[in-house]
Structure 1
Amino acid sequence: MSGAEGTTDAPLILAVSNTPDPAAIALLLAEGADPDVRNTLGETPLMLAASTVSNPDLVRLLLDAGADVSLTTRIGDTALHLAAKQATSPDIVTALLHAGADPRAENNWLAQPLNFAAEFNPDPAITEALIAAGAELDARATTGNTPLLASVQSPGQHAVTMALLHAGANPEARDLRGRTAAYIATRKRTGPEFREMVEAGVDLQATDNAGNGLLYAAAIFGTNPEAVRILLDAGLDPNVTTDNGVPLLFDVARFVNDAAILRPLVEGGAKIDARYGDSRTVLHHVAEYRASSAVVRTLVELGADPNARTEGEYTALQIAAQFQTRPDMLVALVAAGADVNAKDFYGWTPLLQAVDWNPRPEITQALLDNGADPNLG
């Protein structure tokens, strides 16, 4: 960082920050004000004019007065970095570039101006101006993000994401967790926005570092039914399993609060009667691991059998009687047709299992209120 050291109350700094009238600035410059004076953050008048003030006329005036476009703040940002992040007019970026600003300059975190534009500035024209000037499309900052990855993680940046893709940004670049832009978009973009990315040719087969694919991300993390439909229409397998062999539908039913996400999966081919482990169904899985009566109702509506049995002859209601904390889960199963007095391999009913295994009296009460026989053993 070079250039004249200054303070926050230097006249030119104050004039640019508070009353950015080009005529007043011109008067100070004509009287010898240093165009490269700094505030305590190391920001020059040009940096302020290009970013927070965002005044193209003022930027040009300071450039004509000899303001140095190569100076940096204490953290390594140039005027072009700051303009890329905050400017409201692409004319500012163009003026800085014409004055010799380096579109590939790196700050202390290796971020280039395009990284900033991609993450923070919703105007795709600014991104396009930087690319046209030779910005590095896939520059990777210390965060691990390329401009494309940064853009897709930020709200309001979809137009910038598409500008980067159309310019040739690598859609297979991955962040530190192994996620591609398309993977992140399953949870960060609306259905129409995600579809536009798919039509631009992003890789739909990519997985993250844990081996989870886009369909898993859309269903588990994004809870985006439209993204799920788009991926299924593109040919992704709705019966894919996780690394430990659990069908996707099982984990969606277990973890996702929005039951609506189940519908596109099943309608897209996920097997509602799939079995896992000890021959448990998705209803058995839900009965043990979560308390969501809405999920139970949706699964049964989609064809799940409330009286299906595991290898040990357990029904979903029997498992719920042992492990559930909320009585409405058991009520939903009974309402869906579960046999409240069904016996397992050892002759135990849900009521016996609740009394023996579950310390919550409200679970026992729910079974009794819904027809459990207190004398059946």
Structure 2
Amino acid sequence: MEPTAHSQQEASTASSTETAEDLAFKLNAALRNKDEKTVQELLEKGADVNSKAGSGWTPLQSAVQADLECLVKVLLDKGACPHARKDNGGTAFIEAAVVGNVNILKLLLDYGIDINDHDDNGFTAFMEAAWYGNEEALRFLYSKGANVNLRRVVSEENAKLHKGGATALMDACEKRRFPAVKILVQELGADVNIRDNKDRNALIHTLKKSDSKQRYESAVSIGHFLLDCGIDVTSKDECGKTALILAVEMESTDLVKALLEKGEIDIDDADEEGNTALMVAVEKDDYDIAKLLCEKGARTDVGNLIAVANRNRNRDMAHLLLQYNAKYVPETFEDWEPNSKRWRDQLKKLHQMYRPMIGKLKTFQYIQQRIQNTSQGGIYLGLHGETEVAVRTRRSTEGDKEKKFFERCGNSKHLLKLFQFEKARGYMYLCFPLWEKNLEEHLQEPKDHKDYKDALRMIFQAVRELHSLGFAHQDLQPSNFLIDLGGKIYLADFDNKRKLIEDKKELRNSDLEALSRLVLYVLAGGRKPLQQVSTQDLAADSPDYKEALDLVHCLVSHDERGLEGLSNHPYFSSKQVRFQFLKGIWNKIKDLDERYTVFQASNTTEGFPYPRWTEEIDRYVLHIMKNPRRGRSYEYRNNVTDLLRLIRNLDEHPDRRVSDRIGDYADYFLRLFPALTIYVYNSLRQNPKYSHLADIQDPSL
């Protein structure tokens, strides 16, 4: 029977009642169900190809997830946006790598996709291909420019929690995708020794607890492969567990043997709980591994090994341990309090835990004990005897070079000095006096005042001392200035960027320019990054504003006085010292016939900043000074010499009426004429005949 006009109208009305939201919901459902017929029908009805379902999934992303290559083309032809993101920042391209469909990846790349684009968790398409073991997708993405060694990018908050930083190789290792691991290393050149933000390399990711026999076997195979590739076996996990401890936890005798064959492995290293590999083997009741470790010289005098073996009812284990001189060792923790406030908790934990000693040094090089990152490895807490230290580990050759440099710093007041050193297993452990924070951290702290003169004075002296040793620093970053418990500042160079100056004046000048930025950074309170700060960030109402500007200008222009001369710059003088300087100038020039031309003859390009000063000063004060109670009246003129004469007369012939009116003379004049000190100073300094008068003596220094 043919449908009547009425029935056709009803069908049309029913169709038109479907909202755009209904169509979008049905379209995504049909795609996930791989119902191609329904998808085509919904598209013909005008379903929005860029609508979003739960968690922000678009039809294109659903089609990719369902591996519906033909419908991906259809959706793109109908205007589906290939750049649209899910709620987690994922795109259709990243989803295609999860699926492993190279054809879809090719198709989407034609739409201008960034091959190294990542979602909100930092996963790129290449990382997803590694995670899911999609080997052909890995090869294809690499051929198109994917960065094989890209580290996972995460938010600043997560980075502070040490999340992120993993590579595609770590992902493949963690999921035990052995074929993908081999492709990444052997074909695509993946670096096996990159570490994530928790300081773990690919081997540590491999040795995490396996949840099935198949994954266990794959982990063992990958572990052997990475060891053959020369991976660093000293990396630890976030709990301080070494690869050896993790291999014992896996109960893989083969991996334990392979690791022990590596000369750099420390068989007695312990995790944050103080557990060594042998202690773990005894706890897990693994006799074969315990026997292997004992034979290789593992210490049996730490931990309650006998007690654990007895608790496990393993007489053979107890007998083995007794053969290797195991004894019951009770735990006793003395009441010890560190000096450091910043590192108190970590130091107390280090003091209590078992660690294999390196000479007199006790240290634990894992993330919770790390106090600073450098391009050449971390700096860790340590105890040398009972002294709290910062420890830097270097291979013996590099360590000897650094030791020689630090020995040259021995007589310096503000260069970081070497406290002690230890050597073991081809490494040198350089121990430095422990600091509380660096300059960057210090400036972020709330402060009751903002007088940074003492800090800058120590910074200047530190750079001066380094230059006097013949080196330019070349990396004057706030993080390289370290502050101890007493507030003393030291300059460090853990990235080894210093260079011999010799006859290269440009190296010294580049340090001066970097120091000018650092001055601005400090005076601006660290509110902006070092490279973004400018003179506009200085507080114009500061009593030191003009002096600070001049100091920065001198540094930028490579002032011939150098750091030694600039260390006596007026900026570093107190208010009273500046006032005494101004007052004293009149006494030095009053008997000169040419006293009124002293400043006119200067080479300064700056004119006198207060050409009408008699109109700016308090009229009552000026009237009193023009007509003193004793002596002749004097008409002060609008020149710098008469202003200096007035300052001298006020201070040396005090009048109660004046002091009642303006209060402290120094405060009044320096506030009223803030540019006067630097003008007088520079005018004299740049005048060859009178430059000797520009000498500000600060008795406090």
Partner in structure 2 of residue 56 of structure 1:
69
Partner in structure 2 of residue 158 of structure 1:
178
C-alpha displacement of 1:231: 1.5
Question: Does the C-alpha gap of structure 1 residues 149 and 193 become closer, same or farther in structure 2, counting only changes over 3 Å?
Answer: closer
Partner in structure 2 of residue 168 of structure 1:
189
- The answer on 1:17 being equivalent to 2:32 is yes
Equivalent of 2:301 in 276, 282, 288: 276
Return the letter of the residue paired with 2:144.
A
C-alpha displacement of 1:286: 2.7
* TM-score, scaled to structure 2: 0.37
Q: Identity rate of aligned residues, in percent?
A: 22
Partner in structure 2 of residue 329 of structure 1:
none
Partner in structure 2 of residue 46 of structure 1:
60
- The answer on 1:222 being equivalent to 2:250 is yes
Distance, in Å, in 2 between the alignment partners of 1:92 and 1:18 is: 19
C-alpha displacement of 1:50: 0.8
**Number of matched residues?**
292
Return the letter of the residue paired with 2:253.
P
Question: Does the C-alpha gap of structure 1 residues 72 and 140 become closer, same or farther in structure 2, counting only changes over 3 Å?
Answer: same
- The answer on 1:146 being equivalent to 2:167 is yes
1:82 match: secondary structure: helix
Equivalent of 1:77 in 76, 85, 90: 90
Residues 306 and 321, structure 2, Cα contact 8 Å, conserved in 1: no
Partner in structure 2 of residue 180 of structure 1:
201
Greater share of strand:
2
Which is higher, the Rg of structure 1 or of structure 2?
2
C-alpha displacement of 1:291: 1.7
Residues 35 and 66, structure 1, Cα contact 8 Å, conserved in 2: yes
C-alpha displacement of 1:297: 1.0
Cα distance per residue 1:312-366 (max 9 Å; x no partner) = xx7x9xx9xxxxxxxxxxxxxxxxxxxxxxxxxxxxxxxxxxxxxxxxxxxxxxx
Cα distance per residue 1:56-106 (max 9 Å; x no partner) = 222233233332211111221111122222x15333223222333322222
Partner in structure 2 of residue 132 of structure 1:
143
Residues 51 and 59, structure 2, Cα contact 8 Å, conserved in 1: yes
Cα distance per residue 1:254-296 (max 9 Å; x no partner) = 43243333244345x235xx5536xxxx8x62326862233x4
Residues 8 and 14, structure 1, Cα contact 8 Å, conserved in 2: no
Distance, in Å, in 1 between the alignment partners of 2:170 and 2:264 is: 23
RMSD: 3.6
Distance, in Å, in 1 between the alignment partners of 2:236 and 2:83 is: 40
C-alpha displacement of 1:109: 2.6
- The answer on 1:36 being equivalent to 2:50 is yes
Question: Does the C-alpha gap of structure 1 residues 93 and 84 become closer, same or farther in structure 2, counting only changes over 3 Å?
Answer: same
Q: Can you give the 5+ residue segments of structure 2 that lack an aligned partner in the other structure?
A: 1-19, 155-162, 211-217, 331-701
Worse-superposed segment, 11-20 or 193-202:
11-20
For residues 358-369 of structure 1, the aligned pairs below 5 Å read none
Distance, in Å, in 1 between the alignment partners of 2:86 and 2:135 is: 25
Equivalent of 1:260 in 283, 288, 301: 288
2:76 match: secondary structure: helix
- The answer on 1:204 being equivalent to 2:223 is no
Distance, in Å, in 1 between the alignment partners of 2:114 and 2:307 is: 60
Distance, in Å, in 2 between the alignment partners of 1:29 and 1:288 is: 68
C-alpha displacement of 1:215: 1.8
C-alpha displacement of 1:304: 4.4
Partner in structure 2 of residue 122 of structure 1:
133
Distance, in Å, in 2 between the alignment partners of 1:27 and 1:247 is: 64
Partner in structure 1 of residue 105 of structure 2:
93
Distance, in Å, in 2 between the alignment partners of 1:264 and 1:248 is: 14
Return the letter of the residue paired with 2:301.
Y
Cα distance per residue 1:223-248 (max 9 Å; x no partner) = 2212112222344547434389x894
Return the letter of the residue paired with 1:230.
A
For residues 223-242 of structure 1, the aligned pairs below 5 Å read 223-237=251-265, 239-242=267-270
* TM-score, scaled to structure 1: 0.64
Residues 31 and 59, structure 2, Cα contact 8 Å, conserved in 1: yes
Return the letter of the residue paired with 1:161.
V
Residues 183 and 206, structure 1, Cα contact 8 Å, conserved in 2: yes
| Structure with the larger RCO, 1 or 2 (CA within 8 Å, 6+ apart) | 1
Partner in structure 1 of residue 313 of structure 2:
293
Distance, in Å, in 2 between the alignment partners of 1:8 and 1:223 is: 55
Residues 238 and 270, structure 1, Cα contact 8 Å, conserved in 2: no
Q: Can you give the 5+ residue segments of structure 1 that lack an aligned partner in the other structure?
A: 320-377
1:190 match: secondary structure: helix
Return the letter of the residue paired with 1:226.
D
Distance, in Å, in 1 between the alignment partners of 2:265 and 2:54 is: 57
